[in-house]
Structure 1
């Protein structure tokens, strides 16, 4: 079964002009009616690092979770953020960005990779105690622009470490939009066969023209968890100066349905969410 993870947090976080809390909440409330598996709605990180997400707790208070089947995911960058997120029963998933690039790990979370792995172990323990599920994003999962070491074997080493910690969901993240279909296919095929108990997902940043071959490569290799953002907004403000946007949700849905997948989405509510997205992001 396909799991769609809608990422308004990713779409919002890089925007310079602060989006009003009530507007954020209204948009996410509309997304909650569509039928996505998960909504990546906010983050508990330093407001100095990501000012746009400084109101995540206030947004959460305004969400109407009655009747939705969607689960909530919040990004954290350290144990303190995880502890803050764990105060809220409404949050199902914590997401942690672990980079294969030492340079990007420092830029993104002000940690070394070894420090990030230690944080993940602590957050995983906390998640198990608090009834949350930790999703680890392997950022720069298909290479990096910093000339840091990269290889599929390095990816396998990271996955093995995470498996040893008991991580159940790993999402390969193409942070700067450079993933090629052949590498996507290789990473999913090799790792899903080696670690059948782990759910592997795809968090792509990509130019729209290159989207379909990448989605198809992941699908054919057995990926059934896809992150996206309406209208393709987003990108990581910590990666480099020019942001590469997310997979556009509407494009992802079109590709999946062309391949015969039934997504069980409320089309009327999706249309309303698209209208709101045009207001929020323009």
Structure 2
């Protein structure tokens, strides 16, 4: 017999969708013209989303797809009530995010030592130290900071990640000043039971409202994992229009869970998202056509087929 964690099925009445397609999605796709990105973000801004990750201020050599983030974020048509965020790993990145008028910044760490070394070339402890100047500047400028935590289930280099280690690093990020930590299943090997055990451990020390989940769909488990997280009270879900993205430092990692699929799931569960599925699908069709690929969203493909009938 498998001992299952004690999980409630008390779904939240409303969830926040944190749209990462314009950053985490596009940084792992073919480079696009800046204006295409601007048009994409402007369309997303009409959907009812409240959080859009719009750029990344990292090394252009490592992530050339994001080299134009400053120009893109300066050119978008901002809508009231939407937080436009940017990834900022260091002081230089934070200063560029300020210049781009980012409403929020994000830092990214790892729950596994192997991935930390391969992704940001330092240990977990060293990475936390590196974030301290960024956190100090963010506090000075009254800019909210969100934390990303990679490899919370498994690591491509170290194997299974201990849930207590995830909890420790997440707690450290919150203690530094992050208002929320997004738990990333970077290589998509999570299953509902693994997710339940992780959230059960996390929730023993960190409240629901400070935790988000970020699932990749490499093994087709992203939606079941989100269902599990929702059933345990998690109220913020990271998602990427059309399932764009992956991870260049995690071999075999495919795209993020598709925003369209998450919205449909929430609709069927009676959970409010405040986001218009049709507008999100339109944004997905625009960007995948520009990339020359098909959407990686079953819901998007079904909607497109119905539209063409």
Is TM > 0.5 for Structure 1 vs Structure 2?
Answer: yes
User: Is contact 1:189-1:222 (8 Å) kept?
Assistant: no
Give the aligned partner of residue 96 of structure 2. Answer: 84
Counterparts of 2:219 and 2:240, CA distance in 1: 12
Counterparts of 1:271 and 1:14, CA distance in 2: 20
2:284 to 267, 270, 274: 274
User: Is contact 1:188-1:200 (8 Å) kept?
Assistant: no
| TM-score of the aligned structures, taking structure 1 as reference length | 0.91
Give the aligned partner of residue 28 of structure 1. Answer: 41
Once the two structures are TM-superposed, the CA of residue 198 in structure 1 deviates from its matched residue by 5.3
Give the aligned partner of residue 235 of structure 1. Answer: 246
Counterparts of 2:111 and 2:265, CA distance in 1: 29
Which runs of 4 or more aligned residues in structure 1 lie more than 4 Å from their structure 2 counterparts after TM superposition?
none
Q: Deviations over 1:142-198 (max 9, x none)?
A: 121212672111112212322332322001001111112112122223323422285
Once the two structures are TM-superposed, the CA of residue 225 in structure 1 deviates from its matched residue by 0.7
Is 2:67 aligned against 1:54? yes
3-state SS of paired residue (2:18): strand
Q: Deviations over 1:180-237 (max 9, x none)?
A: 2112122223323422285100111113732331111110111111111111120111
User: Is contact 1:35-1:68 (8 Å) kept?
Assistant: no
Q: 1:279 to 1:149 in 2, by over 3 A?
A: closer
Counterparts of 2:189 and 2:82, CA distance in 1: 30
Counterparts of 1:97 and 1:48, CA distance in 2: 18
Gaps of 5+ in 1: none
Counterparts of 1:42 and 1:208, CA distance in 2: 27
Give the aligned partner of residue 258 of structure 1. Answer: 268
Q: 1:221 to 1:251 in 2, by over 3 A?
A: same
Once the two structures are TM-superposed, the CA of residue 243 in structure 1 deviates from its matched residue by 3.2
Equivalences, count: 278
Gaps of 5+ in 2: 1-13, 293-309
Is 2:193 aligned against 1:182? yes
Q: Deviations over 1:95-136 (max 9, x none)?
A: 111012222222222332222101222222211111211111
User: Is contact 2:149-2:181 (8 Å) kept?
Assistant: yes
Q: 1:92 to 1:192 in 2, by over 3 A?
A: farther
Once the two structures are TM-superposed, the CA of residue 20 in structure 1 deviates from its matched residue by 0.4
| TM-score of the aligned structures, taking structure 2 as reference length | 0.84
Once the two structures are TM-superposed, the CA of residue 35 in structure 1 deviates from its matched residue by 1.1
Counterparts of 1:271 and 1:248, CA distance in 2: 10
User: Is contact 1:77-1:96 (8 Å) kept?
Assistant: yes
Give the aligned partner of residue 131 of structure 2. Answer: 120
Q: Which moved more, 1:51-60 or 1:96-105?
A: 96-105
3-state SS of paired residue (2:103): strand
Counterparts of 1:120 and 1:170, CA distance in 2: 14
User: Is contact 2:56-2:88 (8 Å) kept?
Assistant: yes
Give the aligned partner of residue 28 of structure 2. Answer: 14
State how 1:82-231 maps to structure 2 within 5 Å: 82-89=94-101, 91-147=102-158, 150-196=161-207, 199-207=210-218, 209-231=220-242
